[in-house]
Chain A
Amino acid sequence: MKLPRFCYPLVIAACAILSGCNKGENQPATGTSNTEKPKIALVMKSLANEFFSTMEQGAKKHQQAHAADYDLLANGIKNETDLAEQVTLVEQMIARGVNAIVIAPADSKALVTVLKHAKAANILIINIDNKLDADVLKQENLQIPFVGPDNREGARKVGEALAKKLKAGDEVAIIEGIPTAFNGQQRRLGFEDAMKTGGMKMVTTQAGNWEMEKANNVASAILSEHPDLKAILCANDNMALGAVSAIESAGKSGKVLVVGFDNISAIKPLIEKGAVVATADQHGDQLAVFGIEAALKILKGQAPPADQTTPVDLITK
């Protein structure tokens, strides 16, 4: 449901009035508000992306299993880069008077302002997936716990699994995600760490923007330019799929190795076949659940609002 824009101030005003009234009525009985089920809002990026739709399904399943503990409001935006829509979503959640917002920010800086408003409205915020920029948070004097995987460490593990199959001096290329995305940068750094330790020669790093077709085109060009290339490291599995088909059509199957990240279902047959050496599973379906569980604990006062690192597993044949 989408309200015309001019309605938002009205809705927010209405909610403010209502919550004001509630406060008045409930004031003598503050004790009861603790026994009420907390409302947790999950704000995600594009639900068109398999990664986030799996995340949403995982969260919904968890809520059904723990229906007595909390209510869930799950929302995503249409377009990965549509920051304005995600800001609007957070505003709506503030207006709904939720107890906690678990958010995968579409941008690590642009969401900070609206989250500051949420915090001012006494809402607990948990940051998942894409980590908010530490400098901006410090500047705004905000403390928002991050619950999520260490992408750099995960990518390093994947890179090391690949390095075992290569020797020092071998030429490798990296296809990164959208260059501005924090998790993409972390994965690239993790790949670079592993390749430097192994003594491989990195001939080029190019952006595949997380897309299969774009990665396919870039990989084809890299294969033409560097005939001695031994491996392509891709920052997600979609791009790894594109790289594998580029290698096949260049007639180099088995001669150029590929690694990915995310462990999506489509990559499994390629891992079996050996066309993809390794990928990392950061338990995408559980990422939102980890965030929700952290929020519930903090709301109950069972845990301090601190960062938590969630597991990343190496997947090989």
Chain B
Amino acid sequence: MSLFKPRKLIEYAAMAAIWVALILLFGSLSHNFLSSRTFLTLANRIPALAVVSVGMTLVLVIGGIDLSVGSVAGLCGSLLGVLVLNCHMPFWEAVVLCLIMGLAAGTANGLVSVCLNIPSFIVTLGMLEVARGLAYLVTNSQTKYIGGAVEGLSEPVASFGVSPAFLITVALTIIGQIVLSRTVFGRYLIAIGTNEGATRLAGINPVPSKIAVFALAGLLSGLGGVFLTSRLGSADPNVGVGMELSAIAAVVIGGTSLMGGRGSVINTFFGVLIIATLDAGLAQIGASEPAKRVITGAVIVAAVVLDASRQRLATRLAQSFNVVKRNANTAAPTSPN
């Protein structure tokens, strides 16, 4: 139900409109932006950032933050390379081990920050260092070329034109939204983010849910790392540096509150699309590196400003829609009399 509330639909449409505006802008500025290749390239590059951002959305919803996602992705991606290349492990077994690694890192974040009551900012900052260090350790600081053995996940499936990684990402985004808005667990998360004390007084123990959120964020970062290694065909211990900031930007562009209690996984996905489109578009028109940075920063802030007014607009539109519906409902039974 809540997936299709008019208010939500208006919000999704507004996010999509920002994205389309960006596409049209780059379409008019460059020769070949509006081509199927551009969109296939976009679909090919977003999975890693998008799945990491799903986890980040949940963490921000409970009022926490996870700075370790990029490093954990780097660690899991590197581990995948080492397992496949040096230990000759079959691809899928290696993937499972990498996901367990991500889950373990996330669980460690959750246990330390929740059970010992330490701000997640500092705990995950520590994990950022630990995981990156481990990534250098397992790869011996060397880039490893793997090639065909890992590329299957990121190669387009013939009939769809998009990669399995992209399909998994879309599925995870939808599942994430359903979990957040339609399950007891999801409602707990929003309650914890809104007012943790009140949630506890209402008889709900927030500890297991909070740990689970950090564990999930770690697991999804691990998956992001697997996607990265698969796309690049190589394991690079430096991969994912700074990814946490891109993920936070995508989530906040999507309207999730940094203070917790409010968020949408589908809008996060649009946030990722906007960031990726901006990056690809600026590269296609051949903007210089300083210009790219200035423009990207400005667009992030502008998107968040727009988001604030978008939410007010959506609330107002939804209210008038409800008024119309109520009038129609009250009018209907009276008409036969």
Contact = CB atoms under 8 A, between A and B. Distances in A.
A associates with B: yes
Interface of A: 47-50, 53, 179, 203-204, 206-207, 211-213, 216-218, 220-227, 237-238, 241-242, 244-245, 248-250, 264-270
Interface stretch (B108-116, B118-126, B278-286): B278-286
A206 B236 contact: no
Given A48-B238, A238-B236, A220 B44 contact: yes
Nearest to B240: A213
B241 A241 contact: no
A231 B168 CA distance: 33
A218 B288 CA distance: 12
Nearest to B285: A225
Interface string B145-169: 1010001001110000000000000
Nearest to A226: B32
Nearest to B276: A217
Contacts of A207: 289
Top 4 A-B pairs ranked by shortest CB distance? A221-B283, A266-B145, A207-B289, A225-B284
Contacts of B145: 241, 266-270
B241 A211 contact: yes
Contacts of B41: 220-221, 223-224, 249-250
B239 A206 contact: no
Contacts of B240: 213
A244 B233 contact: yes
A222 B284 contact: yes
Nearest to B155: A249
Contacts of A213: 228, 232, 236, 239-240
B154 A249 contact: yes
B38 interface: yes
A211 to B, nearest CB: 6
Interface residues on chain B, size class = 35 or more
B32 A212 contact: no
B329 to A, nearest CB: 51
A47 B32 contact: no
Contacts of A220: 41, 44-45, 280
Contacts of B37: 223-224, 227, 250
A267 B234 CA distance: 10
A227 B35 CA distance: 11
25 contacts: A48-B141, A49-B141, A50-B143, A53-B140, A179-B289, A206-B289, A211-B236, A213-B240, A216-B231, A217-B283, A220-B44, A221-B284, A223-B41, A224-B32, A224-B35, A225-B30, A225-B32, A238-B143, A241-B143, A241-B233, A241-B236, A245-B231, A248-B151, A264-B142, A266-B145
Contacts, number: 118
Nearest to B290: A179
Of the listed residues A212, A213, A221, A267, the one surrounded by the most CB atoms of chain B closer than 10 A to its CB is A221
Contacts of B286: 203-204, 206, 225
Interface string B208-236: 00000000000000000000100111101
Interface string B28-53: 00111101011001001100000000
A47 B137 CA distance: 11
B40 to A, nearest CB: 8
Contacts of A250: 37, 41
B12 interface: no
Nearest to B132: A48
A204 to B, nearest CB: 4
Contact of A249 (B30, B141, B231, B289): B231
Given A221-B41, A250-B41, A265 B233 contact: no
Contacts of B238: 48-49, 211-212, 238
Contacts of B31: 225
B186 interface: no
B237 interface: yes
Contacts of A224: 32-33, 35, 37-38, 41, 280, 284
Of the listed residues A220, A226, A268, the one surrounded by the most CB atoms of chain B closer than 10 A to its CB is A220
Contacts of B154: 249
A249 B233 CA distance: 11
Contacts of B35: 224
Nearest to B232: A245
Contacts of B8: none
A211 B234 CA distance: 12
Given A220-B280, A266-B142, A269-B145, 15 more contacts: A48-B132, A48-B238, A50-B143, A211-B236, A212-B239, A220-B41, A221-B279, A224-B280, A225-B31, A242-B232, A245-B151, A249-B155, A266-B144, A266-B234, A269-B147
Nearest to B239: A213
Nearest to A241: B234
